[in-house]
Homo-oligomer: A and B are copies of this chain.
Amino acid sequence: MSTTLDLYKMYETLSAEERQIWQSAQNFVEKEFMPSIKEHHRNATFPAEIIPTLGKLGFLGSQLPEEYGCAGVNNRSYGLIMQELERGDSSLRSVASVQGALVMYPIWRYGSEEQKKHWLPQLASGQKIGCFGLTEPDFGSNPSGMLTTAKPHKDGYLINGSKMWITNGSIADVAVVWAKLDGKIHGFLVPKETPGFTSTEVKGKFSLRASVTSELSFDDCFIPKNNILPEGRGLKAPLSCLSQARYGIAWGAIGSALATYHCALEYSQTRIQFGKPIASFQLIQQQLVTMASDITHAQLLAFRLAELKDNGEFHPVMISLAKRNNVSMALNTARSARNILAANGIVDEYPIMRHLMNLETVITYEGTHEIHTLILGQHLTGVSAFE
């Protein structure tokens, strides 16, 4: 099993079942994902073969109920899965987050029984892939300004507009697309083959290279009436999905940080300069201690959040705090790790530069660091400073 820093003995509090899920995620990542990630990252390709495996292991929409083919695990287990996937690569966790939190979750929460029965089992098993279309080229931090519209047309709707930075966009079988219908945001299920729906892969990414990012276009794209998500309305519907995803990111970031921290620690213990391991230099220890201390904070946030979420005592600002802090922590940890490895830190023989590059996306998507600052600021002060 992978080593996990556990200065405050949080992982010792896991139940046997949680521990088993955790181990299963570690085994999967180590044995089935790690051997090929270097090549995928180099070539900017997506390891599509892993999706059914993720499904088989119950890692897609794992927190959703078993009646729809999902694993129905608690929030701590869900978090541990995300941690281990992102210890592998942020792309891997992203794919699972999109599928589980941004596609399956809205179908489960806002969909009709028919939609749930149709889609959830196929998505849970990884037979089908989904994507989530909220962000638009000109509306990143301010999704309520979206221009994509749905207009009633015959027995359905015509969707027009475009969506940007869509993970899995070009490989998805179905897109959950958010569009304004009579000025109000609604979610729509848009199958891949729908006429008028096209996607273009974003090229030249130097972050999350092992995942697919796309632009989606909708040009008089007709979808039938029962493809609307009947129960979600207004911006709070997609925002509730983002909360689920951000929760997963808060855990995932710990995984990334564990990967770079342990790599740097081991490197420092074996790399000899001036006749001794560089781990014995104060300037190196200082960096390792800051990493370990910050990882410990992140773990405490994540474990407590799991508990609050399981108890239904959870508020979105708690997640903003954890997403903002933990990703920033992981990025700083990757940067320090890169520094400790010196020249070796820039080659993909080590995972560090890959994580460092990935986290530049992770700190931006699902609410930038600044946006979460302002969400928290509004909560604390009672005053909005967004505009």
Contact = CB atoms under 8 A, between A and B. Distances in A.
A35 interface: no
Contacts of A297: 297, 300-301, 325
A310 to B, nearest CB: 13
B377 A285 contact: yes
Nearest to A38: B204
Interface in A260-317: 265, 268-269, 272-277, 279-286, 288-289, 292-293, 296-297, 300-301, 304-305, 308, 313, 317
Interface residues of A, number: 90
Interface stretch (A46-54, A235-243, A248-256, A364-372): A364-372
Given A206-B348, A268-B381, A346-B360, 14 more contacts: A7-B317, A7-B321, A138-B272, A204-B347, A265-B381, A269-B381, A276-B387, A282-B373, A283-B283, A285-B376, A285-B380, A296-B301, A346-B361, A357-B357
Contacts of A288: 377, 380-381
Contact of A345 (B138, B346, B364): B364
A214 interface: no
Interface string A136-165: 001111100100000000000000000011
A108 B164 CA distance: 55
Most chain B CB inside 10 Å of its own CB: which residue of A10, A42, A346, A361:
A346
A289 B373 contact: yes
A356 B10 CA distance: 33
B293 A376 contact: yes
A339 B365 CA distance: 11
Contact of A347 (B38, B205, B325, B369): B205
A387 B273 CA distance: 9
A321 B288 CA distance: 12
A365 to B, nearest CB: 7
A318 B7 CA distance: 7
Contacts of A246: none
Nearest to A386: B274
A245 to B, nearest CB: 15
Contacts of A361: 343, 346
